[in-house]
Amino acid sequence: MTIQEMQENARKNILNCKVCPVCNGLGCGNTMPGPGSKAPGNGAYDNWKAWQNIKLNMDVFVADGPVDTSTELFGREFSLPILTGPIGTLLQYSKEDVTIPFNDGVMQACAETGIIDCFGDGLAPQTLPGALASLEKHGAAAIPVINPISMEDIKKEMDQVNASNALAVCLVVDSAGLSIWSGGGFGTKTVDQIKALRAYTEKPFLLKGIMTAKNARQAVSAGADGIIVSNHGGRVLPYSASTAEVLPEIVDAVGGQTKIIVDGGIRSGADILKALAMGADGVLICRPFCTAWFGGGAEGVKLVVEKLRGELKEAMYMCGAHSLSEITPEMVRF
Ligand SMILES: Cc1cc2nc3c(=O)[nH]c(=O)nc-3n(C[C@H](O)[C@H](O)[C@H](O)COP(=O)(O)O)c2cc1C
């Protein structure tokens, strides 16, 4: 199967998504439910555009040699600094609820290509146990991403995660304002509540949806082992800054104290190199893996991973880096 064939299949199988040649938020606008951004619908595009405005500096006066994209995250080795992004429910893409087979297929692809899978706990109670069963089946390095539900329910989900072989556990904090979560003791959490959750889990603990240096420092003070710089792909706050825009100040504030992952419109190996050169330890990519699964299941997801691997290797080679540790801030130009 080629990428083009996978995309053609996806167009037949998926609802609400046009499967654009480049997934940049223009085709879906404010389609929610669906893959779009919160009205007026510019968030996903703003994220993508911000990476496009950052350029790479070529360096060809270095010794020739192979390029190694491997990295260590949360105590394990991976072949690429890429994490797949969580999608809590696939109901917005399909008449049938295919969330469990989606999580299974993406996890299989991640295990076979040596990358980390992040999956959502979803809205249905069977989603988390289903994904944890897939995690064991595929021996995947996977991270459940728990919604901002009540403290009691988060702890119940953490109990399931603690009993599994999950690589880490993550709490998504930027979707707190969605009407299903906000109010009634759900939604936003205080730093003390985050500290209590950190203490509750035995796993490395990540927070997804950090967009300011202030929140990044608070996350570190609460004991987060990793933060995901993310605005939920533009789905939670209109006129949120783009993630590429805030990454430098967050790296300045907490770089070296916690792992920094960034997402939002990262679509190529060149974009990944930009994020790493700006100080990220890894990138998370969501929507393209979703369309890839609709177009070709685990094989479709693997095609996209391998495309990104090839592009990252080429970009690193052209900028004079043969390993991730050789990537430097001088490689990007604003
Ligand atoms: C349809 C859809 C559902 C999502 N559901 C979740 C979710 O349940 N939990 C979460 O943390 N992020 C969720 N996200 C956000 C993504 O994980 C990711 O942060 C965002 O899409 C940015 O990455 P991208 O530009 O590569 O898509 C969702 C995104 C989409 C498009």
CA 167 – CA 76 distance, rounded (Å): 8
Tokens matching residue 150: 């009540």
CA of 235 to the centre of ligand 1 (A): 8
The burial class, CB within 10 Å (0-12 / 13-18 / 19+), for 44 is: buried
Pocket test for ligand 1, best of 48, 87, 149 (most atoms within 8 A of CB): 87
The pLDDT tens digits for 169-200 are: 999 999 998 888 887 778 899 999 999 999 99
The pLDDT, as a whole number, for residue 184 is 73
Tally helices (H) and strands (E) across the chain: 10, 12
The pLDDT tens digits for 127-165 are: 999 999 999 999 999 999 999 999 999 999 999 999 999
Pocket test for ligand 1, best of 94, 170, 232 (most atoms within 8 A of CB): 232
Per-residue pLDDT of the chain (334 residues; tens, 9 = 90+): 999 999 999 999 999 999 999 999 999 999 998 999 999 999 999 999 999 999 999 999 999 999 999 999 999 999 999 999 999 999 999 999 999 999 999 999 999 999 999 999 998 999 999 999 999 999 999 999 999 999 999 999 999 999 999 999 999 999 998 888 887 778 899 999 999 999 999 999 999 999 999 999 999 999 999 999 999 999 999 999 999 999 999 999 999 999 999 999 999 999 999 999 999 999 999 999 999 999 999 999 999 999 999 999 999 999 999 999 999 999 999 9
Residues with a CB atom less than 6 Å from ligand 1:
35, 44, 47, 85-88, 92, 120, 145, 172, 208, 230, 232-233, 235, 263-266, 285-287
3-state secondary structure of 92: helix
Q: Which of 90, 232, 214 is nearest to 148 (CA)?
A: 232
The pLDDT, as a whole number, for residue 186 is 81
Task: State pTM to two decimals.
Answer: 0.98
Q: Which residue is it, tokens 């439910």?
A: 33
Q: Which residue is it, tokens 């991403």?
A: 145
Count Cα neighbours of 312 within 13 Å in the Cβ-side half-sphere. 29
The contacts of residue 47 (CB under 8 Å, 6+ apart) are 25, 231, 233, 234, 242, 243, 244, 264, 265
3-state helix, strand, coil in the chain (%, to 5): 45, 15, 40
Parallel, antiparallel or unpaired: strands 332-333 and 55-56: antiparallel
